[in-house]
Structure 1
């Protein structure tokens, strides 16, 4: 069994994380809480199975690499520049003040200045993962307030990278800097960045395109893994900078490639899996006994994170001309700490700035703040109403006038469309032309930007995996259309919608025959199977081309739909329709004949034309100016250009064609 230590630790860590994450989601908490509690359960400070911390920590390093690579991949100076008036002064000022508060608290507890700096740095930055989840769940991600919060976090991420570079230069004892070492570290980091920017910005996109042309998915995934891990390790071994900086820079360069979206999709499973191991390894470092003995310190730190940081943000709102709602949204989003605080804490432990018990205290603050962060978002509207009840304070905070209403407050009697792919795009276009109010829920950032340009109300979030539907105004909507191609996601969306709005009509696409029944059981009233509908349309054109009567063709198509969409039908009776149709048409034909100009029948009634007595064929329809007259009566007057529908045997129809196309018929 000794040879399977690695496999056993991975399996136990992932299984524990699964049950921990599942329990957290059932309690409406972020899965990160469950992962960390799973780490505590298999850690050395609790009874039962004890995981190999060294083994799991090495695997967790890959989680750090993939996290920072993802940050770099989605980093955009343009996005940051658009919200620079809020993000730049806000992030820098808040980090400085929060760090000073952390240092002051640490000194009050008797910690060293270096330990206080680690504590201050750790509580000054928030979790990007938790922030994005909170903004998505509350329908705020694609609002100006949410974008300001994201830009704020981007700047904090950049500052984290810089702190990780500078930390080794802090004196291990005393409160000063090793300036020579600091200069050497910054020089190495600068050389690494310059080398990567001048060489890598052309080499990496070219390499990815070359690998893509091999048309091998395996090679492409291997190339992206090698870039992320190889660049991070190369940065650490050759330039002495952190793994985080190397991974971050590799992500920025790959983000400039036209294949960046594919890289992000391919690396997502690896990032998620190793990030889970990272959070488990964090939990394994927590000493529950120490936290119980120091519960007062835990509560003080949690208050500093969840109340002190938002208070700093609101005070800065009095200084800078931000909208009040922006300050409130940012305050709620930043009232927590997470993965980057863990990374900084681990770096502090490796440099002997803090010990394991001090790190446990930071982790306890993270657990408390992440757990309560959803409640902080729910306090935004009550806090806004309270501020509005104090006009002087409201005017001081809100110097941009009245904020626009939230999406769910500004729309009613609308159609909710989940997904803006090919199908969703058609629906949006038609509803827009008909001036029917509609709201789109979409997860792709590029599509959300396109919808914003089209001025279509949009919620940015995953309707299958977040609370974003709670902000779609379902109780005031007329119907919901679910266009996502993934059947599992569609089922989750239908289930969530039915619990939020029991009477709302739901139209959803299904990918399989079994999916039709599952979606119906979940409460969808109208289910469309695109492949089947496409097949029926082809069959319809084929049968009409072969001369089958239109009414019977539609009757057959409806029979097939009833059979496929209603699993309770056996289909035997319905399929008999086609056999009857074939048998009937074999003995009788229907054809359309155009009345030629100058024909003697023009201007006369069907009674005068006496078509049946002359030819044996019967007139069953008449088309004029795109209007169809079914079974026209005997007083109907024939006009040049009329298309006359007749049924009869072949000889009878040939005689009728001569009658209607000849110009010299004697009546």
Structure 2
């Protein structure tokens, strides 16, 4: 019964807030994130995070990233592979250095400072995907680069996290076993990415044909969901985020004849229930208890987290030949930390790589940075779009 009450409250609140957010020109996702803060432990306390809600939220982000892959242009992703790699590399390097220095400034110690830097090196592109979809910019040059960079970013964050945990030896048995596990995980991830070609080239089209022949409603959509969940599950098995698997499952289905049918069926499934729960769940993690003494640390960490990602990823785009305006938009698209950073923070907390007090402050900084990200992306993408229109008007007269 509690689940039904919670879902009713979440869907009612996000529907109302989403409507009025869009009406006044604010990304709807901002309203949904704030709903979680307001009705969660941070303020009213009407809903607390539960295992069931976390499961719904996990399905929400998987479906969201599957939709992003489904609506992405594979040729554009290939075309912007080099910019994506540069954006990801710079978008990891600069935040790692910046947040490490913040940790050292607050006398946290080398290991804890390193782990905090890994947390804020990660990018959660699901928030940016939602804003890009609202702006019809998912397949723009900036949007495609953000999507590609997010996948590379995720791999880099997992590798850095694995190295850190294995070298500290706090979450694993001994150093030799940890090093062995790291090598095995790396090999598994290489095999996983190699297998994606097989999925796109043969498996997805074959599953689409089977779905078309099934004598049940929405056969193609069901086969697509099976592929999505399967690839997400295997991605987790090899140490990647499940959203990576879901994204590439969407890419695979987008290359089949089932694309339009699946796209038409999957969006109502996601946006009617699971995706709103995902965005609200991020806000539910906010808790103001005991944060008063950590306020300065939270503010500094949030500012550094936003600026280092904006500058780092933006400089990567600039090195790849983007204009300053477009580079800033790409950097803004990588600012959001969301669920990826929260997951890494939880891993570090369980491995005793940070104190409980710092953990709460870090979660608060992650959520505040995530709340800021959609505003930045909306503003910078508007400027980039306006710049493209202006250039197209000038070009014929030159």
Q: Does the alignment pair 1:347 with 2:347? A: no
1:39-82 CA-partner distances (Å, limit 9, x unpaired): 11232233342244322111111112213323443455531343
Aligned to 2:76: 79
Determine which of 2, 7, 12 is the counterpart of 1:5. 2
Aligned to 2:245: 246
1:591-649 CA-partner distances (Å, limit 9, x unpaired): xxxxxxxxxxxxxxxxxxxxxxxxxxxxxxxxxxxxxxxxxxxxxxxxxxxxxxxxxxx
Q: Does the alignment pair 1:405 with 2:390? A: yes
- In structure 2, how many angstroms separate the alpha carbons of the residues matched to 1:310 and 1:233? 31
Aligned to 2:362: 358
Flag the 1:255–1:58 CA change in 2: closer, same or farther, 3 A. same
Matches within 5 A, 1:257-276: 257-272=256-271, 273-276=273-276
- For the 8 Å contact 1:42–1:50, the answer to whether it is kept is yes
Aligned to 2:287: 287
Q: Tell me, which stretches of 5 or more residues in structure 2 are unaligned?
A: 170-174
Shift of 1:259: 1.5
- For the 8 Å contact 1:91–1:152, the answer to whether it is kept is no
- In structure 2, how many angstroms separate the alpha carbons of the residues matched to 1:67 and 1:128? 11
Flag the 1:381–1:267 CA change in 2: closer, same or farther, 3 A. closer
- For the 8 Å contact 2:104–2:113, the answer to whether it is kept is yes
Aligned to 1:55: 52
- For the 8 Å contact 1:301–1:365, the answer to whether it is kept is no
- In structure 2, how many angstroms separate the alpha carbons of the residues matched to 1:101 and 1:227? 39
Shift of 1:359: 1.5
- In structure 1, how many angstroms separate the alpha carbons of the residues matched to 2:23 and 2:348? 38
Shift of 1:124: 9.3
Flag the 1:298–1:24 CA change in 2: closer, same or farther, 3 A. farther
Determine which of 378, 384, 392 is the counterpart of 1:374. 378
Paired residues in the alignment total 378
Task: Provide the TM-score with structure 1 as the length reference.
Answer: 0.49
Deviates most, 172-181 or 42-51? 172-181
- In structure 2, how many angstroms separate the alpha carbons of the residues matched to 1:109 and 1:221? 51
Aligned to 1:184: 184
Determine which of 76, 99, 106 is the counterpart of 1:102. 99
1:373-405 CA-partner distances (Å, limit 9, x unpaired): 4344566699x9xxxxxxxxxxxxxxxxxx883
Flag the 1:160–1:296 CA change in 2: closer, same or farther, 3 A. same
Shift of 1:122: 3.2
- In structure 2, how many angstroms separate the alpha carbons of the residues matched to 1:291 and 1:130? 30
- In structure 1, how many angstroms separate the alpha carbons of the residues matched to 2:258 and 2:188? 30
Shift of 1:131: 5.6
Flag the 1:240–1:251 CA change in 2: closer, same or farther, 3 A. same
- For the 8 Å contact 2:312–2:331, the answer to whether it is kept is no
Aligned to 1:500: none
Structure with greater helix share of residues:
2
Flag the 1:161–1:210 CA change in 2: closer, same or farther, 3 A. same
Q: Does the alignment pair 1:65 with 2:62? A: yes
- For the 8 Å contact 1:236–1:243, the answer to whether it is kept is yes
Shift of 1:101: 1.6
- In structure 1, how many angstroms separate the alpha carbons of the residues matched to 2:371 and 2:284? 13
- In structure 1, how many angstroms separate the alpha carbons of the residues matched to 2:78 and 2:224? 28
Aligned to 1:327: 324
- For the 8 Å contact 1:9–1:52, the answer to whether it is kept is no
Flag the 1:80–1:230 CA change in 2: closer, same or farther, 3 A. closer
Alpha-carbon RMSD across the aligned residues, in angstroms, is 3.8
Task: Provide the TM-score with structure 2 as the length reference.
Answer: 0.78
- For the 8 Å contact 1:337–1:370, the answer to whether it is kept is no
- For the 8 Å contact 1:305–1:335, the answer to whether it is kept is no
1:426-471 CA-partner distances (Å, limit 9, x unpaired): xxxxxxxxxxxxxxxxxxxxxxxxxxxxxxxxxxxxxxxxxxxxxx
Aligned to 2:221: 221
Aligned to 2:40: 43
Structure with greater strand share of residues:
1
Shift of 1:285: 0.4
**Matched position secondary structure for 1:20:** helix
Aligned to 2:254: 255
1:537-593 CA-partner distances (Å, limit 9, x unpaired): xxxxxxxxxxxxxxxxxxxxxxxxxxxxxxxxxxxxxxxxxxxxxxxxxxxxxxxxx
- In structure 1, how many angstroms separate the alpha carbons of the residues matched to 2:82 and 2:185? 31
Flag the 1:276–1:408 CA change in 2: closer, same or farther, 3 A. farther
Matches within 5 A, 1:161-180: 161-163=154-156, 165-166=158-159, 169-172=162-165, 178-180=178-180
- For the 8 Å contact 1:211–1:220, the answer to whether it is kept is yes
Flag the 1:290–1:167 CA change in 2: closer, same or farther, 3 A. farther
Flag the 1:90–1:188 CA change in 2: closer, same or farther, 3 A. closer
1:196-229 CA-partner distances (Å, limit 9, x unpaired): 6547742332122122134643333332222222
- In structure 2, how many angstroms separate the alpha carbons of the residues matched to 1:248 and 1:330? 23
Aligned to 2:18: 21
Q: Tell me, which stretches of 5 or more residues in structure 1 are unaligned?
A: 385-402, 412-667
Determine which of 27, 30, 33 is the counterpart of 1:30. 27
Aligned to 1:519: none
Rg bigger for which structure?
1
- In structure 2, how many angstroms separate the alpha carbons of the residues matched to 1:88 and 1:14? 37
- For the 8 Å contact 1:235–1:241, the answer to whether it is kept is yes
Higher relative contact order (CA 8 A, sep 6+): 2
Flag the 1:169–1:94 CA change in 2: closer, same or farther, 3 A. closer
